[in-house]
Structure 1
Amino acid sequence: MNTLKKSTIFLLLGMSSLSMLMNGCTKQEKEKEKEEITVNVTSVDEAEDKEADEVDKEEKEAVGTLVDASMNTITIRQNDGTELTFLSNNCEHNFKNGLREGNWIVVTYTGEIQGDNTQNASVIKITDNDENKIEKTKKAMKLKAVDETVYATAGVHIRASYSTTSDVIGSLASGASIRRTGVCDNGWSRVVYNNQDAYIYGDYLTTKAPAKDKKPAKTNGSAPATPQQGNEPAKVKKPDSLPAEQQQTVNGKVVEASMNTLTVDVNGEVYTLNIMDAAHEYANGIQVGNIVTITYAGNLADPEVTVIKVQDTAPNGPEEKNN
């Protein structure tokens, strides 16, 4: 009898221990499962953050025609008419064809653009020297057929194609009229000149005939950004065609800059130079105090001096700026 009781007690104790052991295992397994779930959720969050970070760092391009440029910003107009304004003061600039309205520009950036909002875009490089992307965008340009008379709001060049790098085949004086046969939302207009298709940057055209007693202005009411010579557009120069023996270089400190002009201090003398047809190479944009090297032909004090190239001495650090 005692033996039976002892056996029963041992059996009960064994079952209790087994139950406790099983419960312990189950609890451990649940804890392990919970840890695995937490790890998995964390891994998913990290993967999503990494993916978002990679998207933010992914380089993208916006291509359009140049509307305006200042020391701190650049505005381009895309084929669909969307105008994008980017901060341009801390990025690389590389322009081989100068800065004229209607130039085709490629802006390389990271981040996102929503509609015409570029607040979350960080610009890496701005250039007109990316022929593949520019040609692809130009081919995608759609002209809307029209048949109307338009008038020049300022002296403007007539070109063989819809690019400021194309040949100038004529000019339209301020207030003069011409027949327009096509318009594109990016700013270019097709016109008939000498019985053939030609192109004019449309910001200088309006369907409204000018009043004889009013001074011509741009269609948006502001003065034209491209310098004029009387009623005629400023002549297009080909600085890179000048022989090397005519070229000189000088270093100067930037005082002010716009789309078409650069004011520099050279050894205490201040000069304002026309740079619309010059090449531009800046490591970190063009900023007041930057030291730039100017390649030119002629006399800096002469309004007709030809500026061939402007580039900064990279990197334009505090030490150089304070010199």
Structure 2
Amino acid sequence: MPGAVLAPTSAPGYPAHVRIHEVGPRDGLQNEPATLPPDVKAEFIHRLAAAGLTTIEATSFVHPRWVPQLADAEQVFPLVRDLTGVRLPVLVPNERGLERALAHGAREVAVFASATESFARANLNRTVDESLTMFTPVVARSLDAGVPVRGYLSMCFGDPWEGDVPVTQVVRVARRLSDLGCAELSLGDTIGVATPGRVAELLNALAAAGIPADRLAVHFHDTYGQALANTLTALRHGVTTVDASAGGLGGCPYAKSATGNLATEDLLWMLNGLGISTGVDLERLVATSLWLARRLGRPSPSRTVRALSHQEPRE
């Protein structure tokens, strides 16, 4: 394809393979002003799978009042749950959300915690400890049903109300989520203020607390243009799962300073150039993001999508 990645260079110190945890259909679309029909959301997920993504966060079983863009979870999930070879985790906020998810055949779920009190109040209307108490039966019931749980931990580096977040505070909540039984923890830079030095500091502290890199994922926002640099730092510290959003969709409805997620295409361009395998076809993914951008009525914010968008996308 025109403008394709140059021949990859072997990069010592980096993993040979990275698993991309695609969050566009959930974290991306939940912050879009436009609400897409269920069949379009389902087609988006099918196109992502066809591009080679093997973990796609499909939707959220949260109350429609809180995230109206995902009020159609019961309509969307049955349209995608039979995809073969694809993990389709869904977000559940509480036991009621878990019941809905399990009733519709969810095989993986995620809970969403905060490292800060201010964001816990804004997002969950609870203190940090109260939210962890709420998640305890959710995780226990999931594991009893044979359904693994991912724990999201937001505001790991900075909070719009509290400023810099102490590493010890993040480690404490991460340890609690781990002890509950979360198989994987996703470290969220929700407002995009992290820098490589702070990423290294947190990963080292988590390792010292008994949470190794192979149980972690990173979830960076690109507010200050640091998402790729932060990702490289995480990879050098042994992290091999990276959250990203096709076309750079998303932000956070409860933190207005949060800009878009790291674009999956931008991540792929970098990983391809390092010779790191992902199993994802960049050309097909760009075509998917262009297809979705037309349905959202706005251009994709991904730099890589924009750079390659002179091509005729494949429908």
Same-fold call, TM cutoff 0.5:
no
Which protein has the bigger helix share? 2
Q: Which has the higher contact order (CA 8 A, sep 6+)?
A: 2
Bigger radius of gyration: 1
Which protein has the bigger strand share? 1
How high is the TM-score relative to the length of structure 1?
0.25
How high is the TM-score relative to the length of structure 2?
0.25
